[in-house]
Amino acid sequence: MGKTCTTSVLACPRCSGHHLKRMALPHWIPLNWCVNPLTCIAEIIFGGRMPKELFCCQDCSDALWADCLYFRCPSCNALHKERMWRGSNSSGHWFGLLCPSCLGMIPCLWNIWSLLILFVTAPIWYLPARLVRPHWLQFEQRRIAALLGRPPVPDKKVRPISIVLFFGIIGLGISLGTIWGSGRSEKLWIHALPLPVWLAMGVLWALVVKRRANRRRRQTP
């Protein structure tokens, strides 16, 4: 699964340690990104992306697991904190992730359902995407410059309320779609059932993410 390696080339930006755990397929984190049907919504609609490999520092003592995760740029071999791609910078990366150091592209995974949808709809999006991509690159460069100009984000515990909201929006969309498609007013509560179901799934997944991300590094297997 996750392969632990000691290297003199890569060094943790946080503690300067060289004991890093590489997480790539078939590790469960990138695997979940590739096969989870919900990921295609994050990729296609919101532009969320996951790099092909993650690195977790094994030398950061008593640190939160979420604060030891890094993305690596293969062009300049720089490690960048995973937190840089959270919050307001977690979306809009339809064409990939741009390295803040050399502005090279960081190789990313694709969800299998996203690939299927993109293949079927290629005649619709291919030419517009080619026209938009240069403008997107300029936008991303300005975005990175603004991000680097801000004070460093302090380490803090993950509060994944956005996960609950994400599941809730999906449930609300399904509920409204079934109500609108039914064309009848009776038994509307049946069509509204997806909302609480998806909210419950969102709460459960948020608890899993929070427990994992907020675990102290010394407790990570």
| 162/140 same-domain check | no
Pair (194, 142) in one structural domain: no
User: Is this prediction's pTM over 0.85?
Assistant: no
Which residues form the domain of 50?
A: 3-156
91/17 same-domain check: yes
Number of domains in the chain: 2
On whether both 21 and 111 belong to a single domain, the answer is yes
Listed residues 156, 184, 211: the one ending a domain = 156
Q: What is the pLDDT of residue 137?
A: 94
Do 130 and 167 lie in one domain? The reply is no
Residues 73 and 163 in one domain: no
pLDDT per residue as tens digits for the range 10-55 = 888 878 888 888 999 999 889 988 998 878 888 998 898 999 999 9
Boundary (domain end) residue, out of 124, 156, 188: 156
Give residue 221's pLDDT: 39
Nearest Cα neighbor of 117 from 205, 42, 55 is 42
User: Do 121 and 188 share a domain, yes or no?
Assistant: no
**148 and 180 housed in the same domain:** no
**Residue-wise pLDDT tens digits, 116-161:** 999 999 999 999 999 999 999 999 999 988 887 766 555 555 556 6
